[in-house]
């Protein structure tokens, strides 16, 4: 993958994100940290204290359980929406012309749903991988090799 000069790279998962900018060129990218964030998101068992509900059938005495709400996933989806909103503001300010998005498949799908047209039109590549735990200097190598 070619990462053009001044391209913005979003590296995200469901609880943290990094914004990186290529200060180099496509032959020798040099990613610089521009910003980021992280949220607390404990497991669902720590967020909800109730047992899943039960429903009675309309005929007979059969009862079935109702699936427990996945509060952890809801929080990850909300976080993806916040990151997409931030990128929308940056796009509106013409802060970037090209965007590369690297995120695990589930987060990537949620981000796609949340991106406005201004952000979506600037996406030049998507990488369905979690790169948030990699050092910044390795991310460019991984994107160039696997992107």
Instruction: Measure CA of the first residue to CA of the last residue in the chain; give whole Å.
Output: 5
Q: Which residues contact 94 (CB under 8 A, 6 or more apart)?
A: none
* Structure tokens that stand for 18 in this block: 């990094």
18 forms beta bridges with 11, 36
Question: How far is 27 from 4, CA to CA, in rounded Å?
Answer: 9
Q: How remote is the C-alpha of 16 from its chain's centroid?
A: 8
Question: How far is 45 from 143, CA to CA, in rounded Å?
Answer: 35
Question: Distance of CA 99 to CAs 38, 120, 133, Å?
Answer: 20, 9, 20
Q: What is the CATH number of domain 8-37+69-146?
A: 3.30.420.60
Instruction: Write the pLDDT tens digit of every residue in 18-32.
Output: 999 999 988 889 999
Average pLDDT, rounded, for the chain: 84
Q: What integer pLDDT is reported at residue 144 of this predicted model? A: 82
Instruction: Write the pLDDT tens digit of every residue in 47-100.
Output: 555 555 555 555 556 555 556 565 656 787 789 999 999 999 999 999 999 999
Any alpha helices (H) in 6-104, and if so which ranges? 44-47, 71-92
- At residue 117's C-alpha, the angle toward residues 90 and 19, to 5°, is 35
């Amino acid at each position: 993958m070619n990462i053009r000069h001044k391209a913005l790279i979003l590296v995200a998962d469901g609880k943290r994100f990094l914004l990186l900018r290529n200060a180099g060129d496509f032959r020798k990218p040099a990613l610089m940290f521009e910003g980021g964030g992280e949220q607390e998101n404990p497991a669902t068992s720590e967020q909800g204290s109730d047992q899943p509900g039960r429903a009675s059938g309309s005929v007979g005495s059969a009862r079935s359980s109702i699936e427990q709400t996945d509060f952890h996933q809801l929080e990850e989806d909300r976080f993806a929406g916040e990151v997409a909103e931030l990128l929308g503001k940056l796009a509106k300010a013409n802060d970037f012309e090209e965007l590369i998005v690297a995120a695990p498949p589930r987060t990537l799908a949620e981000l796609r749903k949340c991106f406005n047209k201004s952000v979506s039109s600037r996406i030049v590549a998507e990488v369905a991988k979690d790169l948030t735990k990699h050092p910044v200097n390795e991310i460019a190598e991984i994107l160039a090799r696997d992107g």
